[in-house]
């Protein structure tokens, strides 16, 4: 009897391979094992995902785990081309029981066929490969960091990343690696930008003369000098570029590369457990600053300096003194719950307002005038804040009123019209998600090329993390949007909201952490106007999230809620 197989593989930037080539050789290795037993009828291949990520945090691996639950999955077994790419550390021990539970065999070439769940030898072999995978990743990290440290210190090589404000990239000749040089790859160096280099020199001169950071930001904005995000908007689409901020001035004053030396190892990747109570969720990577004593300086000048090293040291010493006087607190993750977190905007500057707890109550505050210069004559109040409790009762009451007997027909008609694919909105969501995924794949390919050219893994890693987050969100939209299970009609939506009417009426009694996901699902946006003390509320729910869910225990377990 022929066996139908599903293939699983993975490739990431750390492998530095072409994704399609990697997929082909892994699949070829899998077919060498399965061809005499059956054929591969399904493919699950993760691209751009580190082996350290648990299966539930890899899109294709997650899709495979979901397929295992389906009796009509279309395959009888799963084959893996190389276990080191599939399993890392203890991931095999956390994943294989799922295969065993659903009666799906797992085939690997190193075992010569399916893994026997009762074989200690098979279990030992797979555990060894998980350890080898972890060791291999650690060795790659050590080799790359050691090589980049030597290149920065001895050669003064520019290791990639965005050039600092005040500099631009210049060609520095062919790549010293013959293979990369043959592919046309070249080295780069920094050269002063004639427009922004004088601005950097002015910032240091004014700061050393006694001017404060905010005063410098005000002066630059008043003179019409573009801030970094406005000067290079293509790389800063998430920033408004309205004015110079204190953080921009502080970053420039703290960048040692303006001295002409190449400086590396200012930050490092720290892998922290997502949940110490659930180690299986794995780690998340965060960038942390290293002590200045651990920074690696080039032995000689690597590019044209904008300031001398003595001026930089004086500026750094003054910043340290100022921070010690202010007694800045270390940033910490808030333990307080905000019902409207990330959903409140200031009408004056259109920026998100930050949550803050005072006297046990949740507030939302706009800190624009504390961080940005106002010399651009932006009409912005000095203090913009309001209490969460002042808006939630009216907000919850308004949402509940949408489902009263006299208004529910109008509400569901509008929602059905918005959710109907025939209007084009569903298709727009689908096409936008597909375009985003394609764009993310192109960016990931460019970032892999940048790594091949010797770019800073720390900088590229942050870019990759941002793109991966965008891709995950787009993939989630794609899964929800297609295929559609049923046409959204007014009767369908009315059935949904009649069933959930009691939940809408009881929303005001819910805790903030329970309300927050409801507000986000509704696409809620609150814009607060300080002058009139009013808030404009908009609701724009994602039509792909509309559906009726039934509790599977409702009929057989009446005691369960």
Looking at 3.90.700.10, 3.30.420.40, 3.40.50.1390, 3.50.4.10, the CATH number of the domain 3-139 comes to: 3.40.50.1390
The residues facing 108 across adjacent strands are 113
Lowest-confidence pick of 41-50, 199-208, 479-488, 530-539: 479-488
Distance of CA 458 to the CA centre of its chain: 15
For residue 428, the model assigns a pLDDT of 64
Among candidate residues 303, 300, 294, 301, the one with its CA nearest the CA of residue 145:
294
CA distances from 158 to 34, 186, 254, 413 (A): 48, 11, 19, 59
DSSP state of 73: -
For residue 7, the model assigns a pLDDT of 95
| Confidence band for 551, pLDDT divided at 50, 70 and 90 | very low
In degrees rounded to 5, what are phi and psi of residue 295? -65, 145
Cα–Cα dist 128/135, whole Å: 10
Q: Retrieve residue 482's tokens.
A: 């297609």
pLDDT digits (tens, 9 = 90+) for 465-521: 667 667 766 776 666 555 444 455 556 555 655 555 566 666 767 777 778 887 887
For residue 321, the model assigns a pLDDT of 74
For residue 557, the model assigns a pLDDT of 46
Cα–Cα dist 409/491, whole Å: 9
* Three-class SS of 194-219: CCCHHHHHHHHHHHHCCCCHHHHHHH
CA distances from 53 to 19, 169, 478, 524 (A): 18, 34, 22, 32
> pTM score, two decimals?
0.62
DSSP state of 151: I
Helix (H, G, I), strand (E, B) or coil at 516: helix
Max Cα distance, the chain (Å): 85
Domain ranges of the chain: 3-139, 167-262+298-326, 334-420+487-561
CA distances from 323 to 203, 204, 554 (A): 18, 18, 59
Cα–Cα dist 330/317, whole Å: 19
For residue 319, the model assigns a pLDDT of 83
In degrees rounded to 5, what are phi and psi of residue 104? -110, 125
Mean pLDDT of the chain: 80
pLDDT digits (tens, 9 = 90+) for 128-144: 998 988 888 888 888 88
Residue keyed to tokens 């085939």: 107
Does the pLDDT value for residue 549 go beyond 50?
no
Q: Would you give the end-to-end CA distance of the chain in angstroms?
A: 45
CA distances from 492 to 9, 458, 462, 497, 552 (A): 41, 50, 43, 9, 20
DSSP state of 162: P
* Contact of 274 with 284, CB cutoff 8 Å: yes
More confident residue, 319 or 492: 319
For residue 417, the model assigns a pLDDT of 62
Cα–Cα dist 40/48, whole Å: 23
Among candidate residues 320, 332, 323, the one with its CA nearest the CA of residue 292:
320
Region 211-234: mean pLDDT is 88
Q: Retrieve residue 437's tokens.
A: 């995924």
Lowest-confidence pick of 39-48, 167-176, 348-357: 348-357
For residue 141, the model assigns a pLDDT of 85
Lowest-confidence pick of 1-10, 121-130, 224-233, 430-439: 430-439
| Confidence band for 433, pLDDT divided at 50, 70 and 90 | confident
Cα–Cα dist 531/348, whole Å: 10
Among candidate residues 252, 232, 230, the one with its CA nearest the CA of residue 241:
230
Q: Retrieve residue 92's tokens.
A: 């095999």
Cβ atoms < 10 Å from Cβ of 195: 12
Cα–Cα dist 224/222, whole Å: 5
For residue 503, the model assigns a pLDDT of 61
Q: Retrieve residue 485's tokens.
A: 């299970």
Region 292-314: mean pLDDT is 93
Percent of the chain with pLDDT over 70: 76
Q: What is the CATH number that goes with domain 167-262+298-326?
A: 3.90.1750.20
């Amino acid at each position: 009897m022929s066996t139908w197989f599903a293939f699983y593989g993975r490739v990431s930037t750390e492998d530095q391979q072409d994704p399609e080539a990697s997929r082909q050789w892994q699949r070829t290795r899998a077919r060498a094992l399965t061809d005499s037993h059956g054929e591969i009828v399904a493919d699950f291949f993760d691209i751009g995902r580190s082996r350290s990520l648990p299966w539930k945090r890899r899109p294709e691996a997650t899709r495979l785990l979901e397929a295992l639950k389906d009796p009509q999955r279309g395959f009888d077994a799963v084959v893996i081309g190389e276990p080191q790419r599939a399993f890392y550390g203890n991931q095999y021990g956390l994943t294989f029981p799922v295969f065993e539970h659903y009666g799906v065999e797992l085939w690997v070439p190193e075992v010569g066929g399916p893994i026997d769940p009762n074989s200690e030898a098979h279990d030992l072999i797979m555990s060894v490969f998980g350890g080898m995978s972890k060791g291999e990743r650690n060795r790659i990290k050590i080799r790359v960091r050691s090589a980049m440290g030597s290149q920065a210190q001895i050669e003064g090589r520019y290791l990639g990343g965005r050039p600092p404000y005040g500099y631009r990239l210049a060609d520095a000749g062919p790549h010293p690696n013959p293979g990369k040089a043959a592919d046309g790859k070249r080295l780069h160096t920094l050269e002063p930008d004639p427009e922004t280099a004088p601005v950097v020199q002015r910032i240091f001169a004014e700061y050393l003369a006694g001017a404060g950071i905010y005063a410098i930001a005000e002066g630059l904005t008043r003179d019409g000098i573009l801030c970094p995000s406005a000067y290079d908007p293509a790389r800063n689409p998430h920033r408004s570029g309205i004015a110079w901020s204190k953080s921009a001035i502080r970053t420039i004053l703290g960048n040692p590369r303006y001295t002409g030396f190449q400086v590396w190892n200012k930050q490092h990747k720290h892998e922290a457990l997502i949940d110490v109570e659930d180690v299986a969720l794995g780690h998340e990577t965060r960038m942390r600053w290293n002590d200045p004593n651990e920074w690696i300086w080039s032995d000689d000048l690597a590019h044209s300096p904008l300031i001398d090293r003595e001026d930089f040291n004086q500026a750094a010493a003054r910043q340290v003194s100022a921070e010690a006087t202010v007694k800045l607190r270390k940033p910490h993750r808030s333990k307080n719950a905000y019902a409207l977190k990330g959903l409140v905007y200031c009408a004056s500057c259109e920026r998100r307002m930050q949550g803050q707890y005072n006297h046990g109550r949740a507030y939302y505050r706009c800190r624009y005038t504390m961080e940005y210069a106002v010399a651009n004559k932006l009409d912005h109040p000095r203090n913009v804040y309001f209490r969460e409790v002042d808006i939630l009762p009216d907000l919850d009451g308004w949402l509940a009123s949408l489902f009263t007997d006299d208004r529910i027909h109008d509400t569901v008609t509008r929602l059905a019209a918005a959710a109907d694919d025939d209007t084009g909105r569903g298709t727009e969501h689908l096409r936008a998600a597909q375009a985003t995924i394609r764009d993310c794949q192109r960016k990931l390919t460019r970032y892999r090329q940048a790594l091949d050219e010797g770019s800073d893994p720390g900088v590229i890693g942050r870019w990759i993390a941002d793109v991966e987050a965008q891709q995950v969100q787009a993939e989630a939209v794609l899964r929800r949007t297609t295929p559609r299970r049923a046409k959204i009609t007014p009767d369908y939506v009315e059935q949904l909201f009649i069933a959930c009417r009691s939940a809408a009426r009881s929303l005001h009694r819910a805790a903030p952490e329970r309300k927050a996901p409801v507000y986000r699902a509704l696409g809620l946006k609150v814009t607060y106007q300080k002058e009139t003390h009013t808030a404009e509320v908009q609701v724009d729910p994602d039509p792909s999230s509309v559906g009726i869910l039934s509790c599977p225990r409702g009929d057989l377990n009446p005691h369960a809620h």
